[in-house]
Amino acid sequence: MKEYVIDAKDMDSKELNRTIKKQAAFHDKLIINNPESRHNVCAGLTEDICVEINGSAGYFAGTMVNGPKIHVTGNAGWFAGDNMAKGELIIEGTAGDGAGQGIYGGTVIVKGSTGSRTGEIMKGGTVIIGGNSGYMTGLLMMGGKLIILGDVTDDVGESIMRGTIYVLGDVKSLGKNAVMEKTTLKDQKELKEILTKYGFELTDIDYTNFKKIVNMQ
């Protein structure tokens, strides 16, 4: 595997992204040191490449990507994985508002908690939150799977059209057009396959306790 190490310490966001795109054409893996919460890291990246960000990223980490597998060892700001078409974004820490906003495909994983509007207007793909999620989670959701292992606050699934929200913890309130159903055995099997793949260890009882939130048909 051909690796390339980028020290972002003295780069601004534009220079960092130019370097990422240039080196992605010639390497299998990029390692970014000293990201220092810069915004738009890996924005628009279309190479099938692994990117390891050693530290925290700012707003729009992994926005509009189509292919790469990005691993952030720290936290991320607002709109992590925004409008992803294909690929994978794993954030070991927490993320701000709008994680997974508008994704068409791929997978966005936040091991910790997120802010409000997680999975807003997502059209496909999968968003997994290992902790809690805030206000209007799944707002205007149009497709895909949104999986929350912790609690969710007010107006979950506000104006949801399609797609499915799964919540293991408590749901404070549902938004307009959203209803809560029991999961099926098929749902539970799919959840187990997805979550086990990404290292989440749950019991069989946990899978039966997931709540399923969908459009009120």
Number of domains in the chain: 1
Q: Is the pLDDT of residue 51 over 80?
A: yes
Map tokens 């939150």 to a residue.
129
Tell me the percentage of the chain whose pLDDT exceeds 70. Answer: 100
CATH of the domain at 34: 2.160.20.60
* Strand partners of residue 3: 29
Strand 211-215, strand 162-167: pairing: antiparallel
Helices H, strands E: what count in the chain? Answer: 3, 11
CB 66 within 8 A of CB 49: no
Global pTM? 0.97
Average pLDDT over residues 34-62: 97
Q: Is the pLDDT of residue 76 over 90?
A: yes
CA distance 87 to 16: 20
Angle formed at CA 17 by CA 30 and CA 74, multiple of 5 degrees: 60
Quick: pLDDT tens for 101-144: 999 999 999 999 999 999 999 999 999 999 999 999 999 999 99
Q: Is the pLDDT of residue 1 over 80?
A: no
Quick: pLDDT tens for 29-41: 999 999 999 999 9
What residue numbers bound the domain in which 195 lies?
Answer: 3-215
Distance of CA 58 to the CA centre of its chain: 14
CB 196 within 8 A of CB 128: no
Indicate the DSSP class of residue 174: B
Report the mean per-residue pLDDT for the chain.
Answer: 97
Backbone torsion region of residue 62, taken as left when φ is above 0, otherwise alpha when ψ lies between -120 and 50, otherwise beta: left
pLDDT on residue 217: 80
Contacts of 146 (CB under 8 A, 6+ apart): 100, 118, 119, 122, 126, 127, 129, 137, 138, 163, 164, 165, 166
CA distance 148 to 131: 7
177 class by beta-carbon count within 10 Å (0-12 exposed, 13-18 middle, 19+ buried): middle
pLDDT on residue 195: 98
90 half-sphere exposure, CB direction, 13 A CA radius: 13
